[in-house]
Amino acid sequence: MIGHYIDKYSIEIYLDESEISEYVYNNIYHKDKLHFHYPANYEKLIEKIKNIEFGVFPDSGPLHIAKIYQKKGILLVSSVSKTILLNKFYSIKSIQSNYKSDYCEGPCGLVNIFEYENNYGCYDKLLLSKTDILQSKNLNKLQRGNLKKNYLNLYISSINCYKFFDGEKIIKFLSKHLN
């Protein structure tokens, strides 16, 4: 996606100082043509988002700020439904991963990863159905664990709902909505 638009637009990427952001930074192509920002706090992030023309939102935190300022953009929907995240907000469009499996029907509504029997992830990564994990006998096995470490590991191994976004579909979708 970045490679397709890098010569047409000035692309800014907003990261924090976390290990996850470091991993993302280390795995982005075209770094020399991108503008990276590391807002020191929420006030600075809000100010940056307030001044964007168009955003691509893989996370709901910045999305909610963009909604307040009536920004245009797209939301990459993975685990939480666009109905919940956008709630009749029409200047930000959504595109959903087309991934489905025996354990993932996306969006699943899972807003946080969890540990289950010393493994971490979402339903699909753990090969557990939502029904199975929510049964009362299994519920006490559900833990949040070391979220910082687990999120980093999850990004490195990549969850399927992110891996299976259709890049061509996103580019066509963006081209339609950037004008």
Does 150 have pLDDT greater than 70?
Answer: no
- 55 in the same domain as 127: no
In 3-18, which positions are buried (b, 16+ CB within 10 angstroms) versus exposed (e)? eebeeeeeeebbeeee
Domain total of the chain? 2
Looking at residue 158, its pLDDT comes to 66
Q: How far apart (Å, rounded) are the C-alpha atoms in residues 62 and 118?
A: 31
- 171 in the same domain as 153: no
Average pLDDT over residues 120-142: 74
Looking at residue 37, its pLDDT comes to 93
Q: What is the pLDDT of residues 28-54, one digit of tens each?
A: 999 999 999 999 999 999 999 999 999
- 153 in the same domain as 85: no
Q: What is the pLDDT of residues 68-78, one digit of tens each?
A: 999 999 988 87
- 83 in the same domain as 169: yes
Does 170 have pLDDT greater than 70?
Answer: yes
Intra-chain end-to-end CA distance of the chain, in Å: 16
Sign of the CA dihedral running 133, 97, 82, 60: positive
Domain ranges, residue 87: 1-98+165-179
Looking at residue 111, its pLDDT comes to 61
